[in-house]
């Protein structure tokens, strides 16, 4: 009888956090509801975060459903704490409050910290996470000290799948993976940051992949105003396949070596279509000297990249963030090894024509870079590759004059 009473109490608590009767078909349902649908407040003045987090607590290993046609308002920081192998199914919309006073200085809007096992997904493809970043774009245009949060921040987590979702108008970076996270998988993802004013949606990187292992991005489309994907210090074993980037700063390793010894290794980017980007792909390295650190980049491959109206198809910058005179005095000491750029095709913009690549390797470091099957062309004439401190085995015909 005692156990029966406890069971009734447990089921009553689970039901109180949801609008649907918990499913009792699995053994786990004796202590946890297997499906929970939080009750939406119905308007932007009501913060729906407490209701959603209550549903996560009730369905920690079950499914939390955000139903089609329903908007939930995210007026406070959202944590996935309590999720233990949970499925978070989004068919409706999670809309972030535009309150710049509240969000200023916060690290993240959606935080996944210390989670082992989570599936964030939409079955229909209708699920949206709306960062509602317009107010942040406008404020940052007049106050560059304003600190904006990352939309979705994963740290110290593993075995996370995010799939078939749309993310829009992040106030800052869309996705960050760091803190030793491992086995993080993004599939069928659309990211779009579009300003309604003349103020650009700055710093809206699609992904910043930092200290982590085995991060994969498969079938993604990104429209933004900064790096499409950035491989940051500590990134190891990252794979990006079948991605389209529009209006970005390209797919980048870095920036690295600003103040520390930064490392990036074992990265594969394959089958990328780059449209209207400042560069399709490349590496950003700070110079040396008393103001900066250094970097080691190894085993990075960019392959099968289609270039459509990008200013450069490929770029190596070893004077990032400093003047040419500073870099002459304090050249980069970065060590680059096992870098491959191959199978680039398409046409660059007219901005630097006929130059299609600017390869400024570290003058006081090493540049283990090879290029092959590079058929990218300028809008007219023959392609030119500007080079500095490049190896004899580079694989393309160089012309002096690389910078940046």
Catalytic residues: 249
As a 3-state breakdown, the chain gives helix, strand, coil percent values, each rounded to 5, of: 10, 45, 40
Q: Which residues pair with 366 in a beta bridge?
A: 335
Tokens of 386: 């500007």
How far apart CA 110 and CA 175 sit, in angstroms, is: 10
134 secondary structure, DSSP code = H
Q: Answer yes or no: are the C-beta atoms of 49 and 11 closer than 8 Å.
A: no
State the burial class of residue 39 (Cβ atoms within 10 Å of its Cβ: 0-12, 13-18, 19+): middle
* Cis amide linkage into residue 126, ω under 30° from 0: no
Alpha helix stretches (DSSP H) within 286-393: 324-329
The set of residues, in sequence order, having a beta carbon less than 8 Å from that of 222 and lying 6+ positions away, is 190, 191, 192, 206, 228, 229, 243, 244, 245, 246, 248
Q: How many CA atoms lie within 13 A of 51 on its CB side?
A: 22
How far apart CA 130 and CA 96 sit, in angstroms, is: 6
Q: Which residues pair with 377 in a beta bridge?
A: 347
How far from the centroid of its chain's Cα atoms is residue 300's Cα? 18
DSSP per-residue letters across 199-251: S--TT--SEEE-SEEEEEEEEEEEE-SS-SEEE-TTEEEEEEEEEEEESSS-E
Q: Which residues pair with 217 in a beta bridge?
A: 186, 240
Distance separating the N- and C-terminal Cα atoms of the chain: 76
Task: Please name which of 212, 205, 286, 287 lies closest in space to residue 248, comparing C-alpha atoms.
Answer: 205
């Amino acid at each position: 009888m005692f156990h029966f009473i406890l069971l009734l109490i447990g089921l009553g608590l689970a039901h109180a956090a949801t609008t649907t009767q918990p499913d009792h078909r699995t053994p786990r349902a004796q202590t946890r509801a297997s499906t929970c649908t939080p009750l939406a407040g119905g308007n932007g003045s009501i913060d729906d975060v407490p209701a959603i987090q209550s549903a996560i607590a009730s369905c920690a290993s079950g499914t939390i459903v955000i139903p089609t046609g329903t908007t939930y308002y995210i007026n406070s920081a959202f944590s996935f704490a309590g999720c233990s192998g949970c499925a978070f199914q989004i068919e409706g919309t999670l809309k972030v409050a535009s309150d710049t006073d509240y969000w200023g200085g916060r690290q993240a809007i959606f935080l996944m910290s210390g989670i082992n096992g989570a599936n964030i997904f939409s079955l229909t493809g209708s699920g949206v996470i709306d960062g509602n970043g317009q107010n942040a774009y406008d404020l940052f245009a007049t106050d560059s000290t304003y600190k904006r949060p990352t939309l979705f921040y994963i740290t110290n987590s593993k075995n996370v799948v995010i799939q078939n979702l749309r993310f829009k108008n992040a106030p800052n970076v869309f996705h960050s993976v760091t803190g030793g996270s491992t086995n993080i998988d993004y599939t069928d993802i659309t990211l779009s940051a579009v300003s309604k004013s003349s103020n650009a949606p700055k710093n809206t990187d699609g992904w910043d992949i930092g200290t982590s292992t085995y991060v994969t991005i498969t079938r993604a489309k990104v429209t933004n105003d900064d790096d499409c994907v950035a491989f940051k210090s500590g990134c190891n074993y990252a794979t990006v396949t079948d991605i389209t980037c529009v209006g970005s700063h390209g797919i980048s390793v870095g920036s690295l070596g600003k103040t520390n010894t930064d490392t990036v290794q074992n990265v594969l980017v394959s089958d990328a279509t780059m449209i209207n980007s400042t560069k399709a792909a490349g590496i950003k390295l700070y110079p040396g000297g008393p103001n900066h650190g250094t970097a080691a980049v190894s085993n990075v491959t960019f392959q099968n990249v289609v270039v459509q109206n990008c200013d450069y198809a490929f770029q190596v910058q070893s004077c990032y963030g400093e003047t040419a005179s500073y870099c002459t005095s304090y050249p980069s000491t970065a060590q680059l090894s096992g870098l491959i750029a191959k199978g680039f095709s398409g046409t660059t913009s007219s901005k630097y024509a006929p130059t299609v690549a600017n390869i400024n390797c570290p003058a006081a470091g090493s540049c283990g870079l090879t290029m092959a099957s590079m058929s990218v062309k300028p809008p007219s004439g023959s392609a030119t590759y500007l080079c500095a401190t490049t190896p004899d085995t580079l694989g393309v015909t160089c012309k002096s004059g690389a910078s940046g």
